[in-house]
Structure 1
């Protein structure tokens, strides 16, 4: 999830664990713990793009990381604070839950997490977008209300608990919505006589009303959208896989690693002689059925046997256009 959401979750967990003893300091250090796993984004400055993608939501988002580093961070906090209102064990317990709940929440997103690192399995339930105001804003409001109550106040605990309950309930609701939309997509495929190998569904940005399906067929991927306000049948747009365009690069280690990252959901496109690797899992840059530009797109440049992979920059104008189109599409087809 986005940084604000993880800060809010970490602060609420910190309050639940230690708020009665140390007051708002529990929220502060819970928020810090909830931020730490995402420091892996700085890997992009230390290594190549493919390795940076692999590291993101890897070790720092694992159970192992939480267990190993919670006592270390707990000891640092214990030593830093002159007033010993809580023990080293208390602070370690707070840090553990702040670190651990971060990847748990991330596992519900499209990117997912390697919760069981060093095993390569990536958990990605894909039932909530990385930024969802309906999850975050009520949670944030209740956390702020709790912050201004005395540490021993019953209201403080109630506000914080309700924030945790409401956000968790919304997360569970999104799983139900995913199941309903999955049925809608598979039903449409059956009714239209479309044979498929696999289907992958996820919510569109910032909401759980409009959902997208990627459908794997023999030579192409189909992409479709469904809103709970739709009145017309679901339509599927075809995108040729074009994997053969890779040629000898099909056996390149970097390309193989990108394929594993995309979990097989990718197409290859060619523009002015340049190859592009398009990751389908994060959708298109427009709601236009004929859109060909994907949100995560990597340029493959092979120079004298050396392959360079660079993520293509996202256009701010395209993002604004997508937001306008997204709102219109949420309201129905």
Structure 2
């Protein structure tokens, strides 16, 4: 999830853990704990593109990381907050839950997390977009309100509990919505006599009213979207896999690494003599008066007998246009 959401979640967890004993400091240290796992983005500075992608939401988003670093951070903060006279264990408990709930929340997104690192499998429920106002805004308002009450206040505890309860309930609701959407896509495929081997659905940006789907067939991928306000049948757009044409470049180790990262949802395309790798899991970005492009695209270059990858710039994006397209699509097709 986005940084603001993780800060709010961390703060609320900190309050639930130690708020009654240390007041607003619990929210502060909880918010810090909630941001620490995302420091793995620093790998972008020191490593190549593919390694940085593999590292993202890996070790720092695991139970192992939470268990190892919670005592260290707890001991450190106990030294800084000697006046609280709590000892290191209560602080370690705060940091454990602050660190652990971060990847737990991220596991509901499309990228997912390696929660059980060192096992490489990612836990990804694909039920919430990384920015979802319906999750974040009520949670944020209630958490901010907590700041205005003393640590002994029952109202303070009720507000914090309400924030955690409402946000968690919404998160669980997204799983139910996803199941409904999956059934809708599968019925549409059956109604149109389309044979498929795999289907992956995910919510559109900032909403759970509009969903996107990738469908795998032997030779192609089908991409479609569905709004709960649609009255027209679902339309599937065909994208060739190009596996035979790309057979030679798929043999390179770095391309195989990208294929593993994409979990099989990828297209290789050659344009003007250059090969591009598209990760289908994150959908298409619409452009004004131009064809849409895949959100995560990588230019492949052959250097000294090896293939290197660099993410293509997401240029040409008009935020107002994107929001207008999103809003119009949410309202449904007839």
CA distance in 1: counterparts of 2:70 and 2:303, whole angstroms: 45
Which residue does the alignment assign to 1:112? 112
Per-residue displacement from partner, 1:104-161 (whole Å, max 9, x unpaired)?
A: 0000000000000000110000000000010000000000111110000000000000
- Per mean C-alpha deviation after superposition, the further-off stretch among 187-196 and 268-277 is 268-277
CA distance in 1: counterparts of 2:243 and 2:156, whole angstroms: 56
Which residue does the alignment assign to 2:202? 202
CA distance in 1: counterparts of 2:211 and 2:167, whole angstroms: 20
CA contact (8 A) 2:22 2:84 kept: no
Count residues with an aligned counterpart.
332
Give, in angstroms, the shift of residue 29 of structure 1. Answer: 0.3
Deviating above 3 A after TM superposition, structure 1's stretches of 4 or more consecutive aligned residues are none
Whether 1:295 and 2:295 are equivalent positions in the alignment is yes
Which residue does the alignment assign to 2:217? 217
User: Residues 145-294 of structure 1 correspond to what in structure 2 (within 5 A)?
Assistant: 145-286=145-286, 291-294=291-294
Which residue does the alignment assign to 1:2? 2
Give, in angstroms, the shift of residue 242 of structure 1. Answer: 1.0
Which residue does the alignment assign to 2:25? 25
CA distance in 1: counterparts of 2:306 and 2:190, whole angstroms: 45
Which residue does the alignment assign to 1:313? 313
Which residue does the alignment assign to 2:331? 331
CA contact (8 A) 1:22 1:85 kept: no
CA distance in 2: counterparts of 1:252 and 1:318, whole angstroms: 36
TM-score by length of 2: 0.97
Whether 1:126 and 2:129 are equivalent positions in the alignment is no
Please give the root-mean-square deviation of Cα atoms over the aligned residues, in Å: 1.4
CA distance in 2: counterparts of 1:250 and 1:266, whole angstroms: 11
CA distance in 2: counterparts of 1:292 and 1:37, whole angstroms: 32
For the structure 1 residues 281 and 129, does the alpha-carbon distance in structure 2 shift closer, same or farther, using more than 3 Å as the test?
same
For the structure 1 residues 319 and 284, does the alpha-carbon distance in structure 2 shift closer, same or farther, using more than 3 Å as the test?
farther
Give, in angstroms, the shift of residue 87 of structure 1. Answer: 2.0
CA distance in 1: counterparts of 2:246 and 2:257, whole angstroms: 14
Give, in angstroms, the shift of residue 72 of structure 1. Answer: 0.1
Per-residue displacement from partner, 1:69-112 (whole Å, max 9, x unpaired)?
A: 00000011111124124221000000000000000000000000
TM-score by length of 1: 0.97
CA distance in 2: counterparts of 1:214 and 1:307, whole angstroms: 27
- SS of equivalent to 1:286: strand
- SS of equivalent to 2:4: helix
